[in-house]
Chain A
Amino acid sequence: MNKEIAIWQRKWEREKNARIQAEAILEDKAFELFEASELLKKNNEDLENTVEQRTKALKESQRRLETFISNLQYGILLEDENRRMMLTNKAFCSIFSIPVAPEALIGADCEAAVHEIKNLFVDADYFVSRIDQLLDKRALVLGDELYTTDGRILERNYVPIFYDDDYIGHCWQYRDVTQLRLAQEQIKLSEEKYRGVIENMELGILEVDNNGLIVRAYQRFCEMTGYNEAEIVGKNAADLLLTEQSKKTLEEQTDTRNKGEASNYEVQMLRKDGSLIWVVISGAPIFNTNKEITGSMGIHLNITQRKQMETELKEAKIIAENAQYAEKEFLANMSHEIRTPLNAIIGMAHLLYDTRPTKQQREYLDVLKNASNILHGLISDILDIAKIEAGKIEIQNKPFDLIGLVRTLQKTFQMRANEKELQVEAMIDARIDGLVIGDELLLNQILLNLLGNSLKFTETGHIGISTRLLKRQEGKVAIEFKVYDSGIGISSEKLPMIFQKFKQVDNNRQQQHRGTGLGLAIVKELIELQGGTIKAQSELGEGTSITFTLSYADGGNVELQTATNIPESVTNHVPLNQLNVLVVEDNEMNQRYVLGLLQKWKIPFDIAANGSEALALVQKKAYNLILMDLEMPIMDGYNATIAIRNTHNHNQRTPIIALTASALIDQKHKALGVGMNDFLTKPFAPTQLKQLLIKYAPNAIDNLNGEVEHTFKFNEQLDSSFLDIFYEDDMNHAHEMFDTFLNDVLPDFPILQNLFDAEKWEEVQKLAHKLKPTVAMVGLTWLEPLLLLIEQATRKHPVDNLPNIAQAIEKVNHDLQTYTPILQTEWQRLKDFCVIAT
């Protein structure tokens, strides 16, 4: 019993435990279930959200599709397999003028509709039959073109629709291509037009592919080369048509074209008949629709004739240039060659003034001098223009006294104008002061030329020069120069010609007004070379004015140390050897004579052979006295004096003594008029020079007197009284004169006889003239009239005076033979005396 109870008790225990286990498990399961349920709920919600989003997106996509279709440019008509309308759009309705909304057509019978709209088309039956045909075949057909009765062109695509091989309908796409076709037509016409134009313009067109093989040759090209198109298509253009040289040119061009650039080049081409032609090729790449180069097109123009002409022209040009160069060379050489003897003429003419010519001889000399000066001017013009054209003019940049230059010119021209009773004016802008930096010589040349013209063409009234300061800034001064006159003027038609080369305004006046016609051309060139401008104003009979502007660097107010700052009295106190004398003299004999005296008196001196040299010297040094010959080549004493007196230099107030061979009063007036202080007539005696030195530097001369003693006695057989006066106490000088005479002059006398024997009268005359002044200097004064006789007789009527001349020559030579030993003795005596004296 107890056992049974124990069993039951255990069973009860076991079942109770099982129940507790089951409950716990169930609770766990319930909890798991709850969680699973929650998860499921959440999944469900997520799923719903996703579904919602997907639905929305789908709707959006559908809406877009519908909008897209309804707004398509294509008219869309979608039919099912039973030809019921499923979808259409606005464009479709618009193309077929259907007055309802596209949605309203859904479900309509398309077969019936075809018949309703068929009459819109030009060929209504074709429209219907074509649709039937397309529907029958169910194959994609694109680009059918249909013509409507109202002139439109419609393009239609037929697209059958299959689903898993089952035919489920089809889509029609219509498009109005009227404008497109018109434009295409237009392009086609235009292309044909231009092709025609090019073909008619004798331009040969050739198309090649990227390998250079000919793709197409147009008619003109074929005519040009002598081939027909069929012969050359497919062949290599370069191999067939080009010479070896041309191929190289082509290769160079190929690079350019490979970059897609068009290019032009000239090559020689081989025709079918073997002849060569020159063509210019304009090549351009040909692109396909993908912008890739598929080949190139060359337009060929036959330029064979032009090339020929070009070559001929080149040759002609070279010949012409050579000829022109040769001409210029010739001109320049000749000018130079002419100038050399001309200088001798001018020099000699001036020396002749020193030979105490008669009034008539002086007049002849004046003519000779003027003529040779004119000739010199002409030659200089030609040389100048040659230099300008060769670019050989160098512009100097040195400080110079511009106002002085203008004043000098005014004075110079006033002097030259006196015979015409012309007034020469100079107006100077007071704002221009001090020095400017530039080319003085060029400005002088310009103004000389212009004033010279004015003087030449003006008989009464005035000529003048004015200067005006235009602007002064940044160290530069711009000056306007005006040269004007009251002369004959120039007519307005001729005015533009005046600056041209070799043009003279009035051919009729050439007799009266000579010149090269280069003057103004040179002036213009010279002004433009310096960066200036020139213009002319004139009226016939009313005078002319020429205005030009030049710009100079401002040279500031650098004052030269001038003689004006040295009071005249200073010269009174300076020691003798600190005096300074400038001798301006072209005659060598006279030079030696004066220099001999000055050396003897121990007075320092400088020598200038002409006015121009003198001007250079007066810029460098202050002199106490200037001895100035009047007649000299290059620049005479008058002009030199004007320049010294009117420009900034050290000698503006230095006394200037004219040395003249003439005793003419008007010449002396003229000398004093240009600013000279006194004059000395050649030949002069030492005392005469001494008197002048005493007058202008008395202290110095006093010293002289004390120093030198006159003890030399000339041989009485010579004209000793003349010699005493002539050399006074300067035996050094006398010795030199005797030396010169014995060595240089004496050998010339026998020539007189030779020339006379050869009847060279002119040369006899010249020689006699040259020898005449020398005899007095060695005391043979009585020979002077004989030489004068020879000179005059041979000039006038040599044949009538032959006996007289012969007699005179004989006498001269005889006396010389007789007196030569005496002269030699005197020379030795003078030499000995001088050695002792020093």
Chain B
Amino acid sequence: MKGIVFTEFLDLVEERFGYEMVDTIIEKSDLPSKGSYTAVGTYDHAEMMLLLGNLSHETSIPTNDLLRLYGNQLFDTLMGGYKKHLVNINSAFELLSAIESYIHVEVRKLYPDAELPYFETEILSPDQLRMVYSSERKMWAFGLGLMEGCFRHFNETAHITHTLLTEDGSSVEFIITRNL
């Protein structure tokens, strides 16, 4: 998992709960990296799961809600860093449609070792998208947060429903209906 996901996550925890919380969850989680993350590094996904689990425990907020929140927050950061690569993308739908066909392709070029989820994207109507999330990470809530961040970024609103296609959340269907 890319280091930026950790650094942004810990920045968000620090911003919301103070550095003491950051220190607490790091200390509670016995981490191979010892909690030292750099945005350009790559770390074990399990560390994120430990940190999330401990944060959820400390704050009594469900993990998926934390992930959704984090995704929402992270989108702006990611856009800030990579917007120059997305010159022809002017709407949330355009970006969502481009995830599998363009964004993930480019990410793999930059980080050949990245483990990315798979999105099957289907345009149901000009205003409705069907996206099916598939990943052994089971971080569909993180995806949902990112989608919400995306709409916010383009000053758009949308109604997003999700249905777990598998119990463990490794495959989740999203129906995204944008508001005009």
Contact = CB atoms under 8 A, between A and B. Distances in A.
Contact of A14 (B20, B36, B39, B40): B36
Contacts of A21: 36-38, 41
A22 B36 CA distance: 10
Most buried by B among A11, A16, A26: A11
Nearest to B10: A14
Interface in A1-44: 7, 10-11, 13-19, 21-22, 25-26, 29
B19 A22 contact: no
A7 B23 contact: yes
B19 A18 contact: no
Contacts of B38: 18-19, 21-22, 25
Contacts of B41: 18, 21-22, 25
A25 B26 contact: no
Contact of B39 (A7, A11, A16, A22): A22
A542 B19 CA distance: 169
Contact of B23 (A11, A18, A22, A29): A11
A808 B162 CA distance: 190
Interface in A682-733: none
Contacts of B35: 10, 14
Nearest to A4: B20
A7 B38 CA distance: 19
B85 interface: no
B20 A18 contact: no
A26 B39 CA distance: 11
A11 B40 contact: no
B140 to A, nearest CB: 29
Contact of A26 (B19, B22, B26, B40): B40
Nearest to B18: A7
Nearest to B20: A7
Nearest to A28: B40
B34 interface: yes
A25 B39 CA distance: 10
Nearest to A22: B38
Interface in B30-50: 34-41
A15 B36 contact: yes
B40 A7 contact: no
Interface residues of B, number: 15
A182 B26 CA distance: 107
B45 to A, nearest CB: 17
B40 A22 contact: yes
Nearest to B39: A22
Contacts of A26: 40
B23 A13 contact: no
Contacts of A29: 40
Contacts of A19: 38
B36 A13 contact: yes
Contact of A7 (B19, B36, B37): B19
Contacts of A14: 26, 34-37
Interface string B139-162: 000000000000000000000000
A29 B41 CA distance: 11
A13 B40 CA distance: 18
A22 B2 CA distance: 12
Contacts of B40: 22, 25-26, 29
Nearest to B24: A7
A18 B34 CA distance: 10
Contacts of A13: 36
B36 A17 contact: yes
Contacts of B27: 10
A146 to B, nearest CB: 63
Most buried by A among B7, B26, B35: B35
Interface string B29-72: 00000111111110000000000000000000000000000000
A19 B38 CA distance: 7
Contacts of B26: 10, 14
Interface string B3-31: 00001000000000001101100110000
Most buried by B among A7, A18, A26: A18
Nearest to A29: B40
A18 B26 CA distance: 14
Contacts of A25: 38, 40-41
A26 B37 CA distance: 14
Contacts of B20: 7
B3 to A, nearest CB: 8
Nearest to A19: B38
A29 B19 CA distance: 31
A630 B20 CA distance: 182
B11 to A, nearest CB: 12
Interface in B90-123: none
A19 B27 CA distance: 20
A7 B7 CA distance: 17
Contacts of A10: 23, 26-27, 35
A26 B38 CA distance: 11
A17 B34 contact: yes
A16 B70 CA distance: 25
Most buried by B among A15, A21, A26: A21
A13 B22 CA distance: 14
B29 to A, nearest CB: 13
Most buried by A among B7, B36, B39: B36
Interface string A70-101: 00000000000000000000000000000000
Nearest to A17: B36
A14 B14 CA distance: 14
B75 to A, nearest CB: 23
B109 to A, nearest CB: 12
B43 to A, nearest CB: 10
A96 B20 CA distance: 101
A17 B22 CA distance: 16
B51 to A, nearest CB: 13
A13 B34 CA distance: 10
A257 B58 CA distance: 112
A11 B34 contact: no
A32 to B, nearest CB: 11
A13 B19 CA distance: 14
Interface string A30-63: 0000000000000000000000000000000000
A321 to B, nearest CB: 114
A687 to B, nearest CB: 163
A23 to B, nearest CB: 9
Contacts of B39: 22
A7 B26 CA distance: 11
A301 B37 CA distance: 116
A30 to B, nearest CB: 12
Contacts of B34: 14, 17
B37 A11 contact: no
A15 B3 CA distance: 13
Contacts of B19: 7, 11
B42 to A, nearest CB: 9
A211 B130 CA distance: 80
B54 to A, nearest CB: 15
Contacts of A16: 36
A17 B20 CA distance: 19
A7 B18 CA distance: 11
Contacts of A7: 19-20, 23
5 contacts: A7-B20, A7-B23, A13-B36, A14-B36, A14-B37
Given A18-B38, A25-B41, 4 more contacts: A10-B26, A14-B37, A18-B37, A22-B38
Interface of B: 7, 19-20, 22-23, 26-27, 34-41
Among all A-B residue pairs, the 3 with the closest Cβ atoms: A17-B36, A22-B38, A18-B38
